[in-house]
Amino acid sequence: MFIPAKVKYRKQQKGRMKGKAYRGNTLAFGDYGLMALECGWVTSKQIEAARVSITKFIKKGGKLWIRIFPDKPITKKPLETRMGRGKGAPEEWVAVIRPGRILYEMEGITEEQAREALRLAAHKLPVVTKFVKRGEIL
């Protein structure tokens, strides 16, 4: 699973998920990609589950790029704990996703194979996505 090697601060505020992705919204490496259509948090476990489903489907053919990284810590307080006494400990890491963000990119396989592999991966993710290919207007 993906986690940052080192962070400046252990805990972050929640923030607001609004607006569009102005960075990471074009295909940079591969010919086919999976684009997010809504805001959300994708955990490191979900990123890894989608990666595993893609690599199992394409076997040895093709190349895969993961364009997101979970760098936001999410804290949780222990169960059956009374209110107060500060913020909980960091529990998991998430990537903040905005509409238009490319999540995964692929090349070296046919469009049908890429479409099916990315469809399988989309089932593992909590955001609505769509298949995109190089050259089409996004």
CATH of the domain at 125: 3.90.1170.10
77-102 burial, b at 16+ Cβ within 10 Å, e below that, comes to eeeeeeeeeeeeebebbbbbbbbbbb
Residue 113 lies in a domain: yes
pLDDT in tens, 30-53: 999 999 999 999 999 999 999 999
Show the CA angle centred on residue 129, arms to residues 124 and 46, nearest 5°.
25
Segments of the chain scoring below 50 in pLDDT: none
Range of the structural domain that residue 102 is part of: 32-74+90-133
- Evaluate if pTM is beyond 0.85: yes
Residue 106 lies in a domain: yes
Residue 8 lies in a domain: no
Residue 24 lies in a domain: no
Residue 2 lies in a domain: no
Q: What pLDDT score does 28 carry? A: 92
Q: Determine contact, residues 71/7, Cβ cutoff 8 Å.
A: yes
Q: What pLDDT score does 137 carry? A: 64
Residue 22 lies in a domain: no
Number of domains in the chain: 1
Residue 25 lies in a domain: no
Residue 65 lies in a domain: yes
